[in-house]
Chain A
């Protein structure tokens, strides 16, 4: 399954697998420091004069997409329920924020918080319905939720119908920069923390084999719905601020179908089921899309479609997953076949952090790769 060719001598001499493995261990050991350092670096640019303009918007959007991709991954990557309708939460958040700001003259912070709460409540209700489905049925049902929400927003009075809502009194760009950064850091902290808790392990267990997870006595519906609501909370918060950030929302932008694919592609390219993957994927893919958008106007979605196809066929494990596989490739010889299978399973789905492969090899945890069922 390795996508790296085996006679890749140059790569091997520059970056041997052991070194990558050490790097993973290092990141695992110092995860909190790494997050703190990244947050500080992210907070720096405005302090050094970057306060407005194109770059400011682009970086803010990167944070925004990282939030969306990481939220998708909580349910899609960690829990194994790939949703095709996450933008529904975003749209609900965006409309809640816009309506409160414009029609009820609520303050910005309160509007954003309400947007998050609304999206979470919406997720709870919808989750109870669609999370009962699996596989194809779940994916299509979530897509149906997104499109139904879009159509309903288009037809209601309160949402401004097809023409949408224009928002005034927009705060300076720095506010959004720090808002999106703040939400992103908060989300990374939450996801990273959960990945080493019982809650996170149960989510992964549901992904690997929901039947077994149920048999072990876990109320999987409870955990799935909780993860789903958590994803909706962060997506809704981002959506709540987006209306004002964009100064305008309509059904097409609030429930943006292209974004829906974009955020899935980001999580996939970075590596699903990891903390760093979706964030890396969001930064990388958004940079590329932004470039294509300016250099070849109108072709960015063609590029997105092709990028999705190439990623799925070429390296479905994403950057982090592929690197982990590369780092663990000697496991087969050092620890025997089962350990290698285990490590590969870990790489494709396991948590990016702290999930040391030695533990997995030593313990007699179930070694079946059940994700492909």
Chain B
């Protein structure tokens, strides 16, 4: 029974990991950049929601509806941040050495993280969402309500992104640029703008996931790198450019982490995640759902 509980916990958290990873995979697929500052977008999303609630209520507490009301603002703010980062900095290294693209996003990551420490201190914070009654109990398994809200929130964010890419004109432009930037430019797509929009959307989804993370886990300025690496694990597992793959990967990673925490010790979760990363890279770099690795 305990194991079933760990699996449920894992799936609930895993959906958030998946939502973060989907944005990471999108930038990787479309702009061909590993965005090492992706985790910082999660962090900024969490803090934006935290401060919005603090301004609205005086403390970082509130009802579910009030929290959900902050989400559109978080998404817009993070879209702007992502768009600006791509336009101002990342676009300057596209097409150069892979190492330089990694390093520039690493630099952005450190700068944002350290500025956040200066602005908000390194203390962990969290958003307290008030519910009238305690957790749901389904077939003997405890399901905290906020985790359930976060789970569906993450799934909805991922689904919106998927539909956006499939159904809208901008989404089609993004997929075109991902397949062939030159051809996309030939048919009149503004490649630079499309890439920046991709960066913005990816950051917005990460930020939205970050807001949910603030309600069920902690947020702190230095949390970013861990989420970036988790995203990498998930994307490598699911395959670059596969949203269903990323979703599966996220749920699986969440489950593995919760099982480790429950059966061994919560101190070992990160060690297991990172070891899993190396093992996956070596054993199956093309992912389970992906078509092939580029290199």
Which residues of A does B touch, CB under 8 Å? 76, 82, 84, 129-130, 132-137, 139-141, 143-145, 147-148, 151-152, 154-155, 257-258, 261, 264-265, 268, 298-299, 301-302, 304-309, 312-313, 316, 371-372
Judged by a CB distance under 8 angstroms, whether B162 is at the interface is no
Chain B: minimal CB distance from A267 (Å): 11
What residue in chain B is nearest A371 (Cβ atoms)? B97
Given contacts A140-B34, A141-B277, 12 further A-B contacts (CB under 8 A): A82-B99, A133-B281, A137-B236, A140-B232, A147-B225, A147-B229, A268-B103, A299-B114, A301-B113, A309-B89, A313-B89, A372-B97
Flag whether B180 is at the interface (Cβ < 8 A): no
Q: Specify which of B97, B114, B229 is in contact with A302 (CB 8 Å cutoff).
A: B114
Instruction: Across the A-B interface, give the 9 residue pairs with the lowest CB-CB distance, nearest first.
Output: A305-B111, A308-B107, A305-B110, A151-B271, A148-B274, A309-B107, A82-B99, A144-B277, A301-B114
| 22 chain-A/chain-B pairs, Cβ below 8 angstroms | A84-B102, A129-B282, A130-B281, A135-B98, A135-B295, A137-B293, A137-B295, A139-B98, A144-B275, A144-B278, A148-B275, A155-B265, A264-B103, A299-B114, A302-B118, A305-B108, A305-B112, A308-B107, A309-B104, A312-B103, A313-B89, A316-B96
Contact of B100 among A140, A147, A307, A316 (CB under 8 A): A316
Once the chains are docked, how many angstroms separate the CA of A306 from the CA of B270?
28
The proximity string for B residues 93-131 relative to A, scoring 1 for CB distances below 8 Å and 0 otherwise, is: 101111110111011111111110110000000000000
Q: In the complex, are the beta carbons of B229 and A144 less than 8 A apart?
A: yes
Are A137 and B89 neighbours in the complex by a CB distance under 8 Å? Answer: no
Which of A305, A307, A316 sits near B109, CB closer than 8 Å?
Answer: A305
Cα A101 to Cα B236 in complex, Å, equals 41
The closest CB in chain A to the CB of B95 belongs to A372
Closest to A81 in B: B99
Task: Choose one: B102, B118, B225; the contact of A82 (CB below 8 Å).
Answer: B102
Q: Contacts A305-B111, A313-B93 given: A145-B102 contact, CB under 8 Å?
A: no
Whether the pair B294, A135 counts as a contact (CB closer than 8 A) is: yes
Interface status of B181 (Cβ within 8 A of chain A): no
B152 contacts chain A at the CB level, 8 A cutoff: no
With A148-B278, A155-B271 as contacts: A312 and B93 at CB distance below 8 Å: yes
A298 to B267, CA, bound (A): 28
Given contacts A139-B99, A152-B271, contact A308 B278 (CB under 8 A): no
B285 at the interface (CB under 8 A from A): yes
Q: Is the CB of A312 within 8 A of B104?
A: yes
**A298 and B229 contacting across the interface, CB-CB below 8 Å:** no
- Chain B's closest residue to A154 (CB) is B267
- Contacts of A76 on B, CB cut-off 8 Å? 99
Other-chain residue from A133, A268, A298, A299 in contact with B282 (beta carbon distance below 8 A): A133
Determine whether the beta carbon of A139 is less than 8 Å from that of B110.
no
A136: chain B residues within 8 A (beta carbon)? 28, 34, 98, 102, 295
Q: Which residues of chain B come closer than 8 Å to A312, judged between CB atoms?
A: 93, 100, 103-104, 107
A302 to B268, CA, bound (A): 30
A147 and B294 within 8 A (CB): no
Q: List chain A residues, Cβ under 8 A from B104.
A: 308-309, 312-313
Q: Hey, what's the 0/1 contact readout for B52-64 against A, CB within 8 Å counting as 1?
A: 0000000000000
B151 to chain A, nearest CB (A): 26
Smallest CB separation, B285 vs chain A (Å): 6
Chain B residue numbers with a CB within 8 Å of A258 are 110
Q: How far is the CA of A155 from the CA of B274 in the complex (A)?
A: 14
Residues of A within 8 A of B172 (CB): none
Which of A143, A151, A306 is the one whose CB lies under 8 Å from B107?
Answer: A306
**Nearest-neighbor residue (CB-CB) of A264 within chain B:** B103
Contacts of A151 in B (CB 8 A): 268, 270-271, 274
Report yes or no: B110 in contact with A148, Cβ–Cβ below 8 A.
no
Of B97, B110, B267, B270, chain A has the most CB atoms within 10 Å of the CB of B110
- Residue B92 at the chain A interface, CB threshold 8 Å: yes
**Which of A136, A305, A372 is most buried by chain B, counting CB atoms within 10 A of its CB?**
A136
Which residues of the partner chain B approach A304 to less than 8 Å between Cβ atoms? 110
Cα(A63)–Cα(B76), bound, Å: 47
- What residues on A are CB-neighbors of B236 within 8 Å? 137
> Please, how many angstroms separate the alpha-carbon atoms of A261 and B36 in the complex?
12
A299 to B119, CA, bound (A): 11
Question: With the chains together, A135 CA to B103 CA distance in Å?
Answer: 13
> Which of B93, B100, B281, B282 has the most chain A CB atoms closer than 10 A to its own CB?
B281
Which chain A positions have C-beta within 8 A of B265? 155
Name the residue of chain B whose CB is nearest to the CB of A258: B110
Expressed in whole angstroms, the Cα–Cα distance for A261 and B114 within the complex equals 14
Contact in complex: B107, A305 (CB < 8 Å): yes
State which residues 224-271 of B face A: CB under 8 Å.
225, 229, 232, 236, 265, 267-268, 270-271
Residues of B within 8 A of A145 (CB): 274, 278
Known: A135-B98, A305-B107. A129 touches B278 (CB 8 A): yes
Name which of B28, B102, B268, B278 has the most chain A CB atoms within 10 A of its CB.
B278
In whole Å, how far is A210's beta carbon from the nearest beta carbon of chain B? Answer: 10
Instruction: Tell whether, in the assembled complex, residue B115 and residue A302 are in contact, meaning their CB atoms are under 8 Å apart.
Output: yes
What is the bound-complex CA distance between A302 and B232, given in angstroms?
25
Q: Flag if A133 contacts B285 (CB, 8 Å).
A: yes
Q: Contacts of A140 on B, CB cut-off 8 Å?
A: 34, 229, 232, 277, 281
Residues B271 and A298 in contact, CB atoms below 8 Å apart? no
How far does the alpha carbon of A154 sit from the alpha carbon of B268 in the complex, in Å?
Answer: 9
Compute how far the CA of A115 lies from the CA of B102 in the bound complex, rounded to whole angstroms.
30
CA distance A145 to B273 in the complex (A): 11
B109: nearest chain-A partner, CB-CB: A305
In the complex, chain B residues whose CB is within 8 Å of the CB of A155:
265, 267-268, 271
How far is it, in angstroms, between the C-alpha of A65 and the C-alpha of B202 when the chains are bound?
36
Contacts A129-B278, A139-B34; A257 near B111 (Cβ below 8 A): no
Closest A residue to B281 by CB, please name it.
A141
Tell me the complex Cα distance, A313–B97, Å.
12
- Chain B residues lying within 8 Å of A316, measured Cβ to Cβ, are 96-97, 100
What CA separation (Å) do A308 and B111 show in the bound complex?
9
Q: Distance (Å) between the CB of A149 and the closest chain B CB?
A: 9
Residue from A137, A147, A299, A302 in contact with B281 in the complex, judged by beta carbons closer than 8 Å: A137
Which residues on B sit within 8 Å (CB–CB) of A309? 89, 104, 107-108, 111
